């Protein structure tokens, strides 16, 4: 039984599904942008069910993409290349 909701909101979202192949791997990502999360984007790695809320500051944090999306260092460089043009 639910006694108390912290929040229960509906919101319009801009959702982008993208799949691309780099030198290291294939990537299947979903990117959700809403007015929540201080303008950051929810990035989902649909191959391994890992996700993160990312902004430009997070992209530039060493090791963040590897940890949050479950990819290795070389794969993270390819993901960074794509996300750096999308996340501002």
| pLDDT tens for each residue of 13-34 | 999 999 999 999 999 999 999 9
Distances, alpha carbon 10 to alpha carbons 28, 41, 43, 54, 81, in Å: 26, 17, 19, 21, 32
What is the distance between the alpha carbons of residues 39 and 75, in angstroms, rounded to a whole number?
25
pTM: predicted TM-score of the whole model, two decimal places: 0.90
88 pLDDT above the threshold of 90: no
Exposed / middle / buried, residue 55 (Cβ in 10 Å: 0-12, 13-18, 19+): middle
Predicted local distance difference test score (pLDDT) of residue 59? 94
Exposed / middle / buried, residue 41 (Cβ in 10 Å: 0-12, 13-18, 19+): buried
Per-domain residue ranges for the chain? Answer: 14-86
């Amino acid at each position: 039984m639910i006694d108390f909701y912290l929040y229960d909101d509906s919101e319009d979202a801009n959702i982008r599904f993208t799949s691309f192949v780099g030198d290291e791997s294939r990537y299947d990502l979903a990117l959700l942008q809403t007015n929540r999360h201080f303008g950051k984007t929810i990035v989902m790695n649909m191959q391994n069910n890992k996700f993160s809320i990312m902004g430009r500051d997070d992209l530039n944090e060493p090791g963040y993409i590897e940890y949050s999306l479950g990819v290795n260092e070389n794969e993270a460089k390819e993901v960074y290349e794509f996300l750096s043009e999308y996340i501002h």
